[in-house]
Every structure is written in structure tokens, then in C-alpha cells.
Amino acid sequence: MTAWPRTVWDSAWLRGLDPPGREQIEAAGSLRALDAGATLYRAGDAADAFFVVADGLVDVSAVRRGDGDASVIRRATVGEAVGEDAIVRVGATRSAAATCASRATVAGVPVSVFRRATERVGSDHAHRLDRALRAAAARDVFRASSLQRAMSARALDALVEAIDHRILGRGDVLFAQGDPATHAYVIADGMVQVLTEDDGRARICAYLSRGDLVVDGSLEGSGPHEVTVSACGPAWIVAIPRARLLDIASGSRALLLMGRLSASPPLPEATRHVLGDLWRFAAAGSMLVIDDEACARCGHCAWSCSRAHDDGVSRLLLRGDKVRVRDAASGESRAFVLPGSCQHCKHPACMVDCPTGAIGRDPRGEVFIRETLCIGCEQCVKACPWGSVQMAPRVAGRTVALPLASSRRVAVKCDACRDVEGGPACVSACPVDAIARVEPLAAMAEVRDAVVAPGPSRRLPQRRAAWPWLVGSVPVTAAMAAAHWTPMVSGVLSGLLCSLLAGYAIVKRVRPRRSGGSGRSRVRPHAIAHLALGVLAVGAVVAHAGASVPPNAAGALLVAFAIASMTGIAMALAYRMVPGALARIERFARLPEDLPNRARELEERAFGVLTGRSDEAKSVYQHMLAPYARRPLGPIFLLARGSAVRTEEERVRAWIERAVGAGVARLDGIDDLVRLVVERRAIGAQRVLQALLRAWLPAHVVAVAVALALLVVHVVCVARGR
């Protein structure tokens, strides 16, 4: 018994469906009655359904390319549809907005169910409707594109008939340099990069996105393409045969000057890395970044992530690319590591392929996986371009919504701790304020410049400094040490301070009760307090015990406290000074256990690079570069020099040029080898530095445990002695 009005079922889109198909659509879809002026959907909303107008009028409005504000591009009446761009791919976002011009009733039809229902009727029918939906969506795209300035609406409509659609995946090439030029293209959705290949190296010239026309050279010319265009992510491109475009647009000079493609100067070298994968930053809703010059590699973030989830699996791994970006608000340059953690894309590729709809997005934009619906098919794992989804064992005892789900593993990924109190556990656990979630489009200058992002700019997260507190506590400590207190008073004070110091370990593990953290580290103030209290405790202990070590439990306590203090001070100094040195020599953040493997890998890669090279290159490698890479104290020299990786590469290169003299030109491929050996040396340096960072903590904790046990013994002795 269908409840939807006849006008819906008589519309061109839904005509001819059989009763089971209609039932499916009604069950999955929605019928809504809206007042005049009500919004049906906004730009940026998730697009998984299109809407058929049963009654009333609906306006579609969008920002035409080059305008500042939105304007109405189309009005839909009874029987027409809006929101056909959902057909492009599930999980797309709306580029236009729809509002009701009058009181209206609209029926929402989810695209995936629509497809199945039409295929029940016949695949020809389904195909025809699919094509019609795409054409309608393309028409809206054209109306909002840069083309509409140069062509009349009728000409645009005629153009729509001639087009053909290309759906590209990440990395797919639209056309390559040297291919014959037969079509012009309009980007309906997604982003593409335009690059030229000089001497085998790709150079990015420009980025184009939704609404841009892609045409290089002149429309009339028939030479081959001069650039390569490839998709940065899932993209929908509309291809127009050039001849047809010329027919329709004959005489319009504006059109011929249209393309934003130009031989613009290459983007600055310093920001090359960010732009090398610009799409990743533009697509990210909330990206987890770690400040490379602050991170102490203590692993607290990964540990707290594993504790925050029931299955004990950390969604965060401290390996990843390093990028250098400029703050959009202040312009300062910062280095960040991108750990393998979900960045909550605006167009989640993982969501698209999920067969059960287990992956969803909540209104705040966070992408999450519903464990009850996950069947462990691993499609999302394969779909994510950055490997942010992993498989983990299913937690026993959880209810499973789907009877089909028999797999032992489910997909897990960072969900920004949406059901954990206090916001992301990793962010609130960092003792040095190094990890934070940022929105690249708002906070990174290069991304904003390249993509022309809307919205205000924001600062990158700032760290809270500890040194003012330490500097302030030094005079207090000196005063305490010089004070003449009775042993009882100074003893109680020391004991209290030591207990507070030890309490830091408990405070770190307590989960906050308030929900919705401020997005900053909860542990950082406690870490600063820990440092300041440590300084004060030293003063109190010196006031209490002096410098002599009595041969009893009290003496042992003093020794243990001294060891704990010294390791603590060493750790604080290391946390302050080492990350900067580490940031200079690494291009890719690695865990300590990865470094030996990487070293071996580099050795083997060198052989791969050497095969087929000239004899000069081989002998340079054998006599100069291999010893350079293998010298045991080499990493120490690298650290002592304090140079960054690139500087070191240039130095080695200059050394080779001096040694070889005029024959440098014959040394093809030597740059790759130099890069490899410098990285090999840098790995040794990284091991040293990481050991410097991490070696203190076990000693510190053990010393503290010994000191606490001895404190108990000492207090008992003193109490009994009274």
C-alpha cells in the first residue's frame, strides 16, 4: 500500500517501477512537507539521495564561479527532481543548496536503493535513467561553472547532450602530456592537479577544482596536450568533444580565454611537500598532526588511545610523513608529522565502499564505524588512500545487528573519541602539547592559498611553555634550601612534595568526567606542575637532609631521590633539546623498532639503484659513499654538525664533485645514492637521539618506585623513634 502521492510515481524518474521496487524506495526514502523558505539541503551536506517534487516549487541555488554570493540557478516544479548530483557517487557532498520557494512536498529517494529498484525493471531502463540523472546533474554543474559566463542557457543545454562522463579515482590520469587533444573538460566534482614532466621529474603547475574548465593550448589548435592532468582524489569530469564545443561557442572570445591553466611559475620549493599531496589536506575535515619539534616520542598518545578503546588497539601509530607548513594566521613555519590516523575526510572514500553502511558521518563531521554493522570485509581498509583503517579483533560479547556478521575481525579507525569523555584521548594525554587536531583548510597557509578556501583562517595550535614556571620556582627553592627549619617541618614538606610528584602518574591515567574537552592537552598543566614541584622538592629535601648520606634507610632514601631527580632533570632537558635536533634530520617519522629495518632496507635499495649505472657511479659509491654510510661514528658527526638533511646532502654532493672533478656529468643517478646514504647516516643519528629521549623514563620510574618504598620505611622508622 503505497503512501506517496501519485505525482511522485508519475514523474519521469520513478515511472514504471514495480510494486516491490516502490515499496523498497518508500521504506528507505522519506516524504517531507516543508514550508516556504525552508531549506531542503545545504551546500556541503552529505549527498546520498535525490528529491522529487510532489507539490510546490523548489529553488536550487549555488555560487556561480567567480561570484561572491549564491544565486538561484534553477527552479523545479511538480514532477522534477533536485539533488541529482547524488548519482555521482555515494558520499559526495552537495555543491548547491535547495530551498523551497513555496509550500512544498518532496520525496527523498536514496540513490543506492533507486538503482536496485530500477535494475529490477531492466538494465536498459536503469542505464537510461542513470544517464538522465547524470545529465541533469551536469546541467546544474554547467550552470554554476565558469562556462556560463560565456554561453547562453540554451547553448549550455545543447552542450549537455554532447557530453560524456568520466569518473576518475585517485591517481588516474585524465590525459597525459603528448596525448592527442580531442576533448575539453569541466570538473564537476573533485580536484585535479596539472603537471608537466621535465627530465622525468613531475612539476605541479596548478590545481583545478569543481567548476573549472580544463583546456590547454588553444581550443582551435589540434596539437597534443602539453600537460598531464591527473585526479587527486575521486573526481567526476565531464568531457566535451572539442569540435562540439567550438561549434557551440563559436565567436565567443571569452570562452577561448577561459582556462585557468597557464604557465604559472612553479610553486615555491619550500612548500613543495604540502602541495605534493594537496588533496589530502583539502579533503581533511580534522587532521591529527604532531608537532615534530616538540614531540618527545614518549608514546603517551598511542598508549592512551589503546586504553580509551575496549579492544586495546591503538588507532594511532607514530609513523608518517613529515610536512612543513606555514601558519595561516601568523605565517610562522612549523614542521608536522602526520601519523596514520583518520583525518575525517569531507568525502570519505571508506564510506563509499562499505556494503552494509556501517561507516557514517555525524553532524560534526566525524567519520565513525558502527561495530554492530561491520562484517569485516576490509573494503574500507583498501579504499582509504592513506591506510588509516585497520582490522582489529572483534570484542567478545558485543551485540551484532547483522546476523551475517560472522567474521572475527572488524574495521577500526580513529573516531575522534566521540563516545569517550573529554575529547580525543591522544590530544588530552600529550605532556608537551605536541599533538592536536587541525583543519588544514583553515590553518595552513599553503593549502588556503592553493585552494582559495572559504571561511576565516585559524592559528595552528600553540604550545604552553614550561620555562616561566621553572624560572619562577628557582628562587623559591633557593629560599627553601637556605631556610632553617626543624627536621620535622622540612621532612613533612619534602614528603608531601614527593607524594605530589608521584601523584602525576595517577593524574595522567584518570579519565575526565566532563565530556567535550577543549581540544587541548589535559596533561600538559600537570606536566608543568610536575616539573615545578620537582624543583621545589629538591629544595625541600636539601633543607631536610643536607648533603650527607647517613648509613641507614634515610640515607638510601636520599640516594634514591637524588637518582630520581637527576634522571628527571635529564629527561626534561632531553625533551627540550632533542626533538629539534631530531626534526632536522628526519623526513619520515619512525618508531625506534622500525629504524633497524629501515637501515637494512636502505642498504638493499642502494644495490637496486646501482644496477645498470655507469662504472664511475659504481666506483664512487664503493669508495666514497659506502664507507660514508657505514662509518660507526658517522651519526655523531652529523649530529655535531647540526645540519639538516638537505644541507648534508649538498655537502656530500660537493665532496663528490671535488673528488671527481670534471666527470660529474657522467654520474647519473648519483643524487639518489647521495640521498640514500645520507638517510642511512641519519638513521644512526635518529637512533642515538631517540635513545636519548626514551632511556630516562624507565630509570626515572624505577628510581621513584624505590624512593617511595624507602620513604615509607623512613617514615615508619621516624614514627617509631618518637
Partner 1 sequence: MKRPGNVTGDITRVRSIGVAAASAAVIVAVVAIATPRSQLASPGPLARPHVVASVSCEACHGARADVRPTSQPCIGCHGPHPSTRDGHRALARGGALDCATCHPAHGEAAGVTFAPDGRALRWSGDVATAASETGPPGITVPLVALSACTRCHDLARLGDPIRACAVLPQASPVNVCFDEHQSVSAPLGARGVCVRQHGEARFVAWDAARSVAADLGMPTVARSLAPWTWVASAMAAGGLAFAGMTASRRVAGRGSPKPGHPTPAAPVRVRLPQIDAGRCLGCHACVDACPFDVLAVERHVAVVARPEECCGVATCEKACPNGSLRLADEGQPVADQPRVDAHLESMDAPGIFLAGDLTGVPLIRNAILQGAGVADCVADGLLSENRAPTGGAGGGAELLVVGAGPAGLSAALRAKERGLSCVVLEQSTMAASIRAFPRGKVVHDPPIDLPLEGALWLRESTKEELLAQWRRVVRTHGLDVREGHRVTRVTRDTCGFAVSAQTASDVVTLRASRVLLAIGRRGTPRRLDADVAPSAASHVLYALSDARALAGRQVLVVGLGDSAMEAIVALARQPGTAITVSYRGAAFVRGRARNVEEVQRLAARGRIRVHFHSTVVRVDDRWVLVRDPGGLQRLRVDVVLALLGGVSSRRLLDAAGVRWASG
Q: Restricting to residues 368-387, name those near partner 1 by CB under 8 A.
A: 375-379, 381-382
Least distance (Å) between residue 66 CB and partner 1: 35
Least distance (Å) between residue 682 CB and partner 1: 20
Residue 518 grid coordinates? 577543549
Decide if 388 contacts 285 (C-beta within 8 A): no
Select 155 or 702, whichever has its Cβ closest to partner 1: 702
Cell numbers 539521495 label which residue?
A: 49
Q: Is residue 85 involved in binding partner 1 (CB under 8 A)? A: no
Decide if 720 contacts 683 (C-beta within 8 A): no
Q: What DSSP string describes 24-43?
A: HHHHHSEEEEE-TT-EEE-T
Give the contact letters, 505-544, x = binds to partner 1 (CB under 8 A), - = no.
----------------------------------------
Select 165 or 605, whichever has its Cβ closest to partner 1: 605
Q: Is residue 563 involved in binding partner 1 (CB under 8 A)? A: yes
In the 8-state DSSP scheme, what is residue 275? H
Kindly identify the residues of this chain, within the stretch 90-109, that bind partner 1 according to CB under 8 A.
none
Select 365 or 376, whichever has its Cβ closest to partner 1: 376
Select 209 or 306, whichever has its Cβ closest to partner 1: 306
Decide if 250 contacts 219 (C-beta within 8 A): no
Select 298 or 420, whichever has its Cβ closest to partner 1: 298
Least distance (Å) between residue 438 CB and partner 1: 22
Q: Is residue 430 involved in binding partner 1 (CB under 8 A)? A: no
Q: Where are the beta strands (DSSP E) in 612-685?
A: none
Among 80, 353, 371, 446, binds partner 1 (CB under 8 A): 353
Stretch in the footprint of partner 1 (CB under 8 A) among 352-360, 364-372, 456-464, 626-634? 352-360
Residue 397 grid coordinates? 560479547
Among 16, 122, 393, 596, binds partner 1 (CB under 8 A): 393
Kindly identify the residues of this chain, within the stretch 584-603, that bind partner 1 according to CB under 8 A.
591-593
The rounded distance, in Å, linking the Cα atoms of 264 and 32 is 49
Among 57, 135, 313, 492, binds partner 1 (CB under 8 A): 313
Q: Is residue 704 involved in binding partner 1 (CB under 8 A)? A: yes
The rounded distance, in Å, linking the Cα atoms of 178 and 36 is 54
Select 101 or 718, whichever has its Cβ closest to partner 1: 718
Whole-angstrom CA distances from 129 to 132, 272, 532, 590 are: 5, 44, 70, 51
Select 474 or 483, whichever has its Cβ closest to partner 1: 483
Select 217 or 224, whichever has its Cβ closest to partner 1: 224
The rounded distance, in Å, linking the Cα atoms of 541 and 630 is 48
Kindly identify the residues of this chain, within the stretch 165-204, that bind partner 1 according to CB under 8 A.
176, 178-180, 200
Decide if 314 contacts 303 (C-beta within 8 A): yes
Residue among 101, 83, 75 nearest 30 (CA): 83
Stretch in the footprint of partner 1 (CB under 8 A) among 131-139, 404-412, 474-482, 532-540? 404-412
The rounded distance, in Å, linking the Cα atoms of 295 and 337 is 9
Least distance (Å) between residue 699 CB and partner 1: 7
Stretch in the footprint of partner 1 (CB under 8 A) among 215-223, 251-259, 422-430, 608-616? 608-616
Least distance (Å) between residue 614 CB and partner 1: 11
Least distance (Å) between residue 118 CB and partner 1: 11
Kindly identify the residues of this chain, within the stretch 270-309, that bind partner 1 according to CB under 8 A.
298-300, 302-303, 306
Residue 650 grid coordinates? 649538498
Range 63-66, long-range pairs (CB < 8 A, 24+ positions) = 63/144, 64/143, 64/144, 64/145, 64/148, 65/144, 65/145, 65/146, 65/148, 65/149, 65/211, 65/212, 66/146, 66/149
Kindly identify the residues of this chain, within the stretch 620-679, that bind partner 1 according to CB under 8 A.
none
Select 382 or 618, whichever has its Cβ closest to partner 1: 382
Decide if 13 contacts 41 (C-beta within 8 A): no
Q: Is the dihedral of CA 529, 534, 539, 545 positive or negative?
A: positive
Residue among 39, 37, 5 nearest 22 (CA): 5
Residue 262 grid coordinates? 597557464
Q: Is residue 392 involved in binding partner 1 (CB under 8 A)? A: yes
Among 28, 453, 492, 718, binds partner 1 (CB under 8 A): 718
Total Cβ atoms within 10 A of residue 519 = 14
Q: Is residue 331 involved in binding partner 1 (CB under 8 A)? A: no
**Number of residues binding to partner 1, judged by CB under 8 A:** 78
Whole-angstrom CA distances from 623 to 602, 619, 628, 665 are: 18, 6, 9, 18
Least distance (Å) between residue 406 CB and partner 1: 6
Q: Is the dihedral of CA 707, 710, 711, 714 positive or negative?
A: negative
Least distance (Å) between residue 140 CB and partner 1: 27
Q: What angle do CA 717, 718, 719 make, to 5 degrees?
A: 95
Among 28, 72, 699, 715, binds partner 1 (CB under 8 A): 699
The rounded distance, in Å, linking the Cα atoms of 475 and 468 is 12
Among 253, 607, 615, 658, binds partner 1 (CB under 8 A): 607
Cell numbers 575526565 label which residue?
A: 512
The string over 601-621, giving b where at least 16 C-beta atoms fall within 10 Å of a residue's C-beta and e elsewhere, is: ebeebbeebbeebeebbeebb
Select 250 or 611, whichever has its Cβ closest to partner 1: 611
Among 551, 632, 633, 661, binds partner 1 (CB under 8 A): 551
* 3-class secondary structure per residue, 350-403: HHHHCCCCCEEECCCCCEEECCCCCCCCCHHHHHCCCCCCEEEECCCCCCCCCC
Select 21 or 211, whichever has its Cβ closest to partner 1: 21
Q: Are strands 409-412 and 390-393 parallel, antiparallel or unpaired?
A: antiparallel
Among 487, 550, 596, 642, binds partner 1 (CB under 8 A): 550
Among 22, 75, 116, 272, binds partner 1 (CB under 8 A): 116
Least distance (Å) between residue 341 CB and partner 1: 12
The rounded distance, in Å, linking the Cα atoms of 508 and 431 is 9
Select 196 or 643, whichever has its Cβ closest to partner 1: 196
Residue 590 grid coordinates? 619512525
Among 64, 344, 520, 613, binds partner 1 (CB under 8 A): 613
Select 106 or 677, whichever has its Cβ closest to partner 1: 677
The rounded distance, in Å, linking the Cα atoms of 342 and 367 is 8
Stretch in the footprint of partner 1 (CB under 8 A) among 59-67, 327-335, 421-429, 604-612? 604-612
Among 24, 209, 390, 643, binds partner 1 (CB under 8 A): 390
Q: Is residue 222 involved in binding partner 1 (CB under 8 A)? A: no
In the 8-state DSSP scheme, what is residue 86? G
Least distance (Å) between residue 244 CB and partner 1: 21
Select 104 or 288, whichever has its Cβ closest to partner 1: 288
Q: Is residue 314 involved in binding partner 1 (CB under 8 A)? A: yes
Stretch in the footprint of partner 1 (CB under 8 A) among 147-155, 235-243, 388-396, 680-688? 388-396
Residue among 709, 696, 717, 718 nearest 557 (CA): 709
Among 97, 156, 359, 556, binds partner 1 (CB under 8 A): 556
The rounded distance, in Å, linking the Cα atoms of 325 and 371 is 36
Least distance (Å) between residue 343 CB and partner 1: 18
* Beta bridge partners of residue 436, listed in sequence order: 289
Select 269 or 593, whichever has its Cβ closest to partner 1: 593
